[in-house]
């Protein structure tokens, strides 16, 4: 398995994985998440061309995508309260259901971490939905720690 930057040829497989990750969220919170994919093929093409939104894929020996990591550079320049540190935000990580427990997620995260260090980022952040405690446990096993908590009241 290797992790590399995503390419146009990976879009059909990424779309399949987007369905899987969406289903986890839809089943956990159907009041919030529609049963749909996050991006279209056209939107993915635009994301892959955007240097501010790097996407990484883990592929097997046949170059089949086993998992992905979508990232976004964030920086708060000239903010009155926040410093202007450069953050690499992980918007989404997904591992194919058939490739779970094969260290694909760890490989994607480690590649993202190496990339962030090379780019001079101060930190890596991400959000984890409370409906997915396994994901939170996975990120904590990688050394990530909670940064903030979002609360809600359903009316």
Question: Each residue of 39-76: pLDDT tens digit?
Answer: 999 999 999 999 999 999 999 999 999 999 999 999 99
DSSP assignments along 41-96, one per residue? HHHHHHHHH-TTS-EEEEE-TT--EEEEEEEEEEE-TT-SSS---EEEEEEEEEE-
| Structure confidence by residue, pLDDT tens digits, 114-134 | 999 999 999 999 999 999 999
Domain 2-141: CATH class, spelled out: alpha beta
* pLDDT more than 70, % of the chain: 100
Q: How does pLDDT run across 8-29, given as a tens digit for each residue?
A: 999 999 999 999 999 999 999 9
pLDDT of residue 112: 98
Lookup: tokens for 113: 């971490």
Full-model pTM: 0.93
């Amino acid at each position: 398995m290797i992790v590399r930057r995503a390419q146009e040829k990976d879009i059909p497989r990424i779309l399949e994985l987007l369905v899987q990750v969406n289903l986890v969220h839809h089943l956990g919170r159907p009041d919030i998440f529609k049963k749909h994919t996050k991006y279209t093929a056209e939107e993915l093409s635009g994301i892959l061309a955007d240097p501010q939104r790097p996407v990484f894929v883990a592929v097997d020996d046949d170059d089949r995508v086993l998992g992905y990591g979508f990232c976004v550079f964030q920086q708060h320049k000239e903010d009155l309260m926040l410093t202007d540190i450069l953050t690499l935000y992980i918007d989404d990580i997904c591992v194919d259901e058939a490739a779970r427990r094969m260290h694909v997620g760890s490989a994607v995260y480690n590649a993202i971490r190496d990339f962030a260090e090379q780019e001079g980022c101060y930190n890596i952040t991400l959000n984890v939905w409370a409906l997915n405690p396994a994901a939170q446990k996975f990120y904590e096993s990688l050394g990530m720690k909670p940064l903030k908590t979002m609360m809600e009241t359903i009316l």
